[in-house]
Structure 1
Amino acid sequence: MLAPLLLLLAGAQLLAAAFPPLPRPYTLQLFQTTSFENSTYVDTQGLGLLDDIELAVLDHRTWNIHFRQPWVRPALPRSDWDTIGDMIKIYLQKFHRLIQEGAMEKKVPYPFVAQCTAGCELFPNSTSRAFAYVGYNGQDFLSYDIDNSTWLLLQDTGLSRYVRERLKNYTVFTELVEVLFNDTCVDDMQIIVRYGKEALQRQVKPAAELYARTPEPGRLLLVCRVTGFYPRPVSVAWLRDGKEVPPGPELSSTPILPNADLTYQLRSILATAPRDGHSYACRVRHSSLGGHSLLLHWGNSGFLLLAGLAAAAALLLAVAAATLGALWMRRRRKYQEMNESEPRSSVLSNEP
């Protein structure tokens, strides 16, 4: 097994050395969810992400890799993908055996779910950090300190201590984790990032709207909804009379939530009182705006609305006055023309 692993690492390191430093940090993560229904039936789901881009999924029947982006498969030679696929299958076989043995030994009731998150972060200065976490029934269970090659307890129970002790003695499994998520992860991510440059550097400008809600008398909620932006980082702030509103109980926000088209959205809410005499604005900053900001203004106490209505009313009155004036002038001209034509008609009628 060591020979193909060494060849894989050597080839990846040579390819990675050919690329310049990265412009920003990137994170490659593998998510594994394994359901242990009983002592014989196990179902595993797997997903690979580069930042928030879905790279590949694991076929839960065959444990084969299915690529989600067209640029992932060409990033590495087929032999490298075959080796990685074999390593994943070996890892899952050992993981299932280890957990089943522990469940039998500690009489863990079925069904239960084990979740694993592992991967690496790669920084522009070429440093990296690998990580691995294990969860049990939705709760933190163990983490792996790759620098010190030790498993750490995230919950202190008889089951977690038992699994940790088993892992200490299960050196083959630990070495496989280190190869997968420390060496191979970092080296391959450097290459995959270059192939996915266009997708990773995609910029989509946000759209924003500002509206108000009145949940109860004397309470006005200003809502700034920002949506359709990519990448994920965004800054939304409120301005009161041109000055930024500091964090406090009057401010709240939803998490940054994904849209179906791989963009994001959020809502920022400012609690105020109606007719408090202040003016408000929502300011949105995002990398796609090229250093500029979106600024949405809200006139408090209905001032802007009343001013707009007054202006509209004045415009309507002006149009109506002009129309009536034009009609009056037209009728006056017709009346004058009629008066001027009457004497000539009477003179002509008296002629013999």
Structure 2
Amino acid sequence: MINWRRGKGSFFSWLLILVLFSLWGIQTAYHKHEMKFIAVGTSRTLLDLTSLSIIDDIQWISYHKSSHQIVVKEAWISEALGMDLIEEIKHLLMDHEGNFQFAIHLLIRNETKTERNHTLQIRFDCELDGDIQLSSLVKYGLDGEDLIQIEGLQGKWMVLNPRGHSFIYIVESSFWTEARKLYNERYCIGFMKKILWKSNMKKNLPPEVYVSRQDFPSGTITFSCTATGFYPQSILLHWKMDIDGALQGKESSTGTLPNSDDTFYVRISLEIQPGDPGRGYACVVNHSQLDKTAVYSVPDKSPKGNLWAVALSIILAAILVISCFVVFTKWKKKNSGTTSQT
């Protein structure tokens, strides 16, 4: 009995270690949360307010003044936050509509055309590496021009545009400073942690890779290496040759772009000049969901000339056979007619 208890205790100890390691694996990763607010109005009226929140390039929630409704992208995100917290966000944004209109009024108070529409943009970012907050950023803009910003919770506000001077005394107040810290902890960092603990946002997927080659009449050759359907976003693609040496060619990249299913896509290209036969090139791919670095060789030049020659030969042979058949048929009919007359 004693041995069984010891074995049971050892089993649960190992189980606890495995759980801790799995949680550590989820948390020890870089994540970024971006909250964006776009308000449109005049000195007297707020016409529109839109709010978006994006975690790791995935939009997960939005708010629109027209409907006064919070739209959460996935049901499991609602479960992660809880309906009480979602309602809190909605009422908070509704309460802040007057503050956005006041901010627009304050920033344009020296203008003579007070009824002209203006757009106020506020961006609130925070970054996590595991449980450690790396940085934060708050930036105000008006009509597409940056006004003021602050980086870090202990940083100082920077004026980026002369119009921002009229707003600096408000954001430097003790009330706003405490409010900014609360927003960072509860809504920016807090929401991100809740969502990341509930799920990894998207099932981790390895990239599907396609390599192609295109030969041009001028003699130039373009290689393309496309990786798609992967998550998380971080990926590294580069070209190499079978033999060591510097690549001679013009490289370009689309950059990493989102797909409609929240996975990602990237394509790199290499253009080599006439005289290079284009042999021995390969695309190298590194991604966290690949067991090891993957190398995809560029296909050799397809024998298009030979294919055309074969196709042309087949067509000519078919024409020859058909012609012979027609001539033979006519000859046979002619002979049959002659025989009948005889």
Alignment of 1:244-263 (within 5 A): 245=246, 250-263=250-263
For the Cα contact (< 8 Å) 1:210–1:296, is it kept in 2? no
Check whether the contact 1:285–1:294 (CA below 8 A) recurs between aligned residues.
no
- Could you tell me which residue of structure 2 aligns to residue 135 of structure 1? 141
In the other structure, the counterpart of 1:285 is 286
* Equivalent-residue separation in structure 2 for 1:176 and 1:108 (angstroms): 32
TM-score between the two structures when normalised by the length of structure 1:
0.69
Deviation at 1:239, TM superposition (A): 1.5
Cα deviation, residue 263, structure 1? 2.3
Q: Please give the root-mean-square deviation of Cα atoms over the aligned residues, in Å.
A: 3.2
Give the aligned partner of residue 119 of structure 1: 125
Return closer, same or farther for 1:189/1:51 CA change in 2, 3 Å cut-off.
Answer: same
For residue 56 of structure 1, report the CA deviation from its aligned partner.
0.9
Separation of aligned partners in 1, 2:197 and 2:225: 36
Measure, in 2, the Cα distance between the counterparts of 1:294 and 1:241: 11
Which residue type is aligned with residue 298 of structure 2?
Answer: H
Partner residue of 1:178? Answer: 181
Residue correspondences, number: 284
Structure 2 match to 1:232: 233
The TM-score normalised by the length of structure 2 is: 0.71
Give yes or no for contact 1:203–1:288 (8 Å, CA) kept in 2. Answer: yes
| Counterpart-to-counterpart distance in 1, 2:304 and 2:105 | 72
8 Å Cα contact 2:43/2:105 also seen in 1: no
Provide the rounded CA distance (Å) in 2 between the counterparts of 1:112 and 1:269. 42
**CA deviation digits over 1:309-348, x for unaligned, max 9?**
69xx9xxxxxxxxxxxxxxxxxxxxxxxxxxxxxxxxxxx
Q: Which amino acid aligns with 1:190?
A: K
- The separation in 1 between residues aligned to 2:131 and 2:79, in whole angstroms, is 26
Larger Rg computed on CA atoms: 1
In structure 2, distance between residues paired with 1:211 and 1:87: 55
Summarize the alignment of residues 1-352 of structure 1 with structure 2, pairs less than 5 Å apart. 20-21=23-24, 22-36=27-41, 39-107=44-112, 110-148=116-154, 150-153=156-159, 155-157=160-162, 159-169=163-173, 171-197=174-200, 199-214=201-216, 217-243=218-244, 245=246, 250-277=250-277, 279=279, 280-299=281-300, 302=301, 305-306=302-303
Aligned CA distance change for structure 1 residues 161 and 117 (closer, same or farther; 3 Å): same
Q: Deviations over 1:211-270 (max 9, x none)?
A: 2253x7243322223333222222111122344756x87211122222222222222121
- Once the two structures are superposed, what CA deviation does each residue of 1:124-179 show, in whole Å capped at 9, x if it has no partner? 253443321222222332212442364222x232x12112234335x544433321
Per the alignment, residue 314 of structure 2 pairs with none
Secondary structure at 1:104's aligned position in 2? Answer: coil
Residue segments in structure 1 that go unaligned for 5+ positions in a row: 1-18, 314-352
- Between 127-136 and 26-35, report the one with greater CA deviation: 127-136
SS at match of 1:122: strand
One-letter amino acid of the counterpart of residue 256, structure 2: I
